[in-house]
A and B are shown apart, each in its own frame.
Chain A
């Protein structure tokens, strides 16, 4: 769309896909982290370009992953967890989970084959947590657009950022930690337009503007906030002189 619009000499801002990485450090507050990640991955059934889709567990964070599974199981399809948009979407998402399982990932919480009683024709997927995902799996790199999170494990923050940076998208990234220096390091080095610190869905609220980087956004500027002024207007520049005594020089 961006290519077609700009080939026709139109101004265009087109938002693309996303694969948002949440980096979890061992000193993160377990309850807050687990609740925030669950809300980020399951909100709107994961059908948000700001949804948590990949978690990078840096070092030993098993105690946080345990809490995450407890929080995830509190999400009940048809109650506090909505449906995905249609059958094709449900099949596509379940296929991602199947593929990961086949390649050796461990499904900690399994939302496949979810049926809501009385709403059998609804298209639901339960919250799904996939652990021991490796960077070669499709669930590690592609946008799933469902309530699914893929956990990859690294020893260091640098390795975690290599994974984040390598992804072609760049909408959001978050870090969960109580270490200010580590948080600052992630803000500086994540290749994403919107970064959160202990925030699962780092959508900038007005008057700040919304916009990712890399393949998450095509065009110049952001879609909302002050940035939208430049997108939706053009500048008229006028030069005026009313008095004949005004100076005449090389410019006027």
Chain B
């Protein structure tokens, strides 16, 4: 096995799933056994959601201009590591290294958009009658989740992670069990970029976890 068994990422730490079965992660390129991935249980999801709820108390109140600083640094880290990330995508998904690189370029573009959110999210204010003002502001939802398919191990997670988190939410990510490796590097790079513990969690698994996410009372949006 080329890489160690995949772990969940909860509260800023990579940890083994509790009492779970593992399935093989096979490279479509040549059939090589790359790793094994846990089929996490509800208890793992509950840990991630609790951590996200706790993190949201601070993250949700952090000004957006501060929050996006993480993504400026994340973007720079994607650029710095793009060859390695592209090759990992190619290995686990089967696409060519050039296509893996294009996927990272798109992940960078998505992150760049999240960095621009403070310019786009200003609220509105109007004096609606003498001395009385109405104001609107965009506030985060809380704990949210994202469930992603196998075909873009980095780009599709980057559809949701930068925007949802920059907008103040804390996210539980459920990657595809077919391509669980790239997301681990993304989580590491976000931590390196300064993302506080609990703001992003990664829970690996199958449809059992998808159902649990759909049913979890503390998850606001998917």
Chain A: residues with CB nearer than 8 A to chain B? 1, 4-5, 8, 10-14, 43-45, 47-49, 78-86, 118-123, 205-207, 210, 223-226, 228-229, 231-243, 245-247, 249, 251-252
Contact = CB atoms under 8 A, between A and B. Distances in A.
B74 to A, nearest CB: 15
Contacts of A234: 138-139, 141
Q: Give the dominant DSSP class at A's interface.
A: loop
B134 A243 contact: no
Contact of A229 (B27, B98, B167): B167
A120 to B, nearest CB: 8
A73 B94 CA distance: 20
A233 B94 contact: no
A11 B141 contact: yes
Interface string B18-30: 0000000011111
Would you list the 7 A-B pairs with minimal beta carbon distance, nearest first? A121-B31, A246-B131, A83-B94, A11-B221, A83-B28, A233-B138, A247-B130
Given A43-B99, A207-B113, A252-B132, A10 B94 contact: no
Contacts of A251: 128-129
Given A1-B147, A85-B28, A233-B138, A226 B120 contact: yes
Contact of B222 (A11, A43, A78, A122): A11
B120 A84 contact: no
B178 A233 contact: no
Nearest to B121: A229
B129 A249 contact: yes
Select the residue from A78, A239, A251 with max chain B CB neighbours within 10 A.
A239
25 contacts: A10-B219, A10-B222, A11-B222, A45-B94, A48-B151, A48-B152, A78-B29, A85-B178, A86-B178, A119-B29, A121-B32, A123-B28, A229-B117, A229-B167, A232-B163, A233-B121, A234-B139, A235-B136, A236-B138, A238-B136, A239-B135, A240-B132, A240-B135, A246-B132, A252-B132
Interface residues of B, number: 58
Contacts of B120: 207, 226, 229
Given A12-B222, A119-B30, A252 B135 contact: no
Nearest to A206: B113
Contact of A82 (B90, B112, B139): B90
Contacts of B98: 80
Contacts of B26: 86
Contact of A10 (B110, B116, B221): B221
A194 to B, nearest CB: 14
Contacts of A238: 134-137
Contacts of B164: 228, 232
Given A10-B222, A206-B112, A232-B141, A82 B132 contact: no
Given A11-B220, A47-B151, A224 B163 contact: yes
Contact of A81 (B96, B110, B133): B96
A208 to B, nearest CB: 10
B189 interface: no
A82 B221 contact: no
B15 interface: no
Contacts of A119: 29-31
B109 interface: yes
